[in-house]
Structure 1
């Protein structure tokens, strides 16, 4: 256990240094300077691409090999309040230290031809590593920036522990500011099978966000937390200090009842530093398994998983999605960060309809 912890603690130190010390290699910015604007800065030496809003870093596309998959980190409100957990990348005080593989916003799955792409992290022992796959960044395909919108398209490979390619992925992240001032991130993921593949029903997937402390719901299971200096305290405890979150779904579910149910959208409402925040994930009707099942846990995991049907339905449904060699599929999601008030179901229903028509 000591060796695992030592390996894990290497990760945040390296990434914090990368996020703060490397000079950018390229900045792209266009559009009307009087409008809200994004800019995108590539930092290949530190394996990251920064997305800036009004000249300040809003999020980064991080793709260091130690992460085991590319992620967007952090996510924030426009006023700068974090909506994603900092640990283990940029630890903050009083954060849960469970599930070190849950960082920022990511896309992967718990069972592809028997390999687990979800739970892989530097905390895994050498003996365990043959059970896990990794997703590796390959290329920046395009960057576009204009006024209050930007897009980043990248290519990735899903690899076995022996570095055998199973899937190629093309992913596009689109960022924009709505007329209401909401930050909207639209994610499109095209997966192409490089061999025959089976995505056996598994609860761990697919598009996920690990949220900040304030967006958690009260949770009674003991776990470890960081101390006031962001360092892990090894003594497990139950602690709901600062927790204000509450889940809602399109089907009228609320709180813990959202977990394991289907819905066109799900939302977390919370208060962060006296700022009311709504975090929404919208499913798209063209996605497999629509409407998705929600892996919405009180401890802070907020995920849409259309492929875990047997688990979530308690055996009433089975999908076991498959792709033959050369076949592809597309997943589309939208993440909306609304601040200053809490959204109601009628408003989110309209946002869902707008996304479905795209």
Structure 2
């Protein structure tokens, strides 16, 4: 069988109102018993590569800005007060796709019942190949498998080899992701839809203001419906490389997307 390979390079960066340090240093710490690899800058948590068995994919979670501001939503892993509880598959910073050989990898989560799991694929962490640092850079190389659902004998569709490069420079914290997907069967079809491939679910403060009714969490994680949305402190502003701004930037093809917002007096740009 001839193997087909897809290679992707994706970048993510954050800037906040913190003061850059000339001697920024990145460290990686493998915590196998917690199923994660922590990434720290000058001892402060930047993010963690998480491969919890309960997740349907690997993620970077949480993600912090250089001044310590948490930019990712906590729900459903670590819910915080006044968070929206829609789209439980929106967790941290992640990479997958909506339709691979007819299986939905994007929308899979704990919320999908057993009776519907047959339509969903999952990405399973297999190994940490390398974890090393050099001053302001950290490199993490991992391997994963893209699996069809169990009712298909958990067939492996793709082998993934991903290298994360974490950087701290001039007040910005950055992640480069280099992903190689290798087909394990003759026919692998990525059917285009709106789901994919790289996404981050941000904290409520960085969302675009909205008037739609939502369901929030309280500080204990309990869900409560709200008919009228309170936009106080909701400051997210989106723009892309094609000149689209605000809601007009949603669902548009673009070379890059920028999100700016303020949380607890901290100005952040993603």
TM-score bucket of the superposed structures, by smaller chain: 0.7 to 0.9
Summarize the alignment of residues 212-223 of structure 1 with structure 2, pairs less than 5 Å apart.
212-223=203-214
Equivalent residue, structure 1, for 2:106: 118
CA contact (8 A) 2:26 2:168 kept: no
Q: Which runs of 5+ in 1 are unaligned?
A: 1-33, 280-358
Spell out, residue by residue over 1:111-160, the C-alpha distance to the aligned partner (whole angstroms, 9 max, x if none): 00000001111111110111110000001111120111101010000001
For residue 236 of structure 1, report the CA deviation from its aligned partner.
4.0
Summarize the alignment of residues 59-138 of structure 1 with structure 2, pairs less than 5 Å apart.
59-138=47-126
Aligned mates of 1:236, 1:115 — CA distance in 2:
33
Aligned mates of 2:83, 2:27 — CA distance in 1:
30
Are positions 1:200 and 2:185 aligned together?
A: no
Greater relative contact order (CA < 8 Å, ≥ 6 in sequence): 2
CA contact (8 A) 2:84 2:214 kept: yes
Distance 1:232 1:238, change over 3 A: farther
The SS at the match of 2:247 is: helix
The SS at the match of 1:187 is: strand
Summarize the alignment of residues 341-356 of structure 1 with structure 2, pairs less than 5 Å apart.
none
Are positions 1:182 and 2:209 aligned together?
A: no
Equivalent residue, structure 2, for 1:343: none
Equivalent residue, structure 1, for 2:200: 209
Distance 1:263 1:167, change over 3 A: same
Spell out, residue by residue over 1:157-190, the C-alpha distance to the aligned partner (whole angstroms, 9 max, x if none): 0001122100000111111112x21111111111
For residue 79 of structure 1, report the CA deviation from its aligned partner.
1.1
Equivalent residue, structure 2, for 1:39: 27
Equivalent residue, structure 1, for 2:262: 271
Summarize the alignment of residues 43-62 of structure 1 with structure 2, pairs less than 5 Å apart.
43-62=31-50
The SS at the match of 2:111 is: coil
CA contact (8 A) 1:73 1:84 kept: yes
CA contact (8 A) 1:106 1:208 kept: yes
The SS at the match of 2:77 is: coil
1:226 pairs with one of 202, 207, 217: 217
Spell out, residue by residue over 1:194-222, the C-alpha distance to the aligned partner (whole angstroms, 9 max, x if none): 11111111111100100111110012222
Equivalent residue, structure 2, for 1:333: none
Are positions 1:161 and 2:182 aligned together?
A: no
Higher strand share: 2
Aligned mates of 1:69, 1:209 — CA distance in 2:
13
For residue 232 of structure 1, report the CA deviation from its aligned partner.
2.6
Summarize the alignment of residues 318-333 of structure 1 with structure 2, pairs less than 5 Å apart.
none
2:252 pairs with one of 234, 248, 261: 261
Normalising by structure 2, report the TM-score.
0.87
Q: Pairwise CA RMSD of aligned residues?
A: 1.3
Aligned mates of 2:264, 2:85 — CA distance in 1:
22
CA contact (8 A) 2:127 2:144 kept: yes
Aligned mates of 2:135, 2:200 — CA distance in 1:
27
CA contact (8 A) 1:94 1:230 kept: no
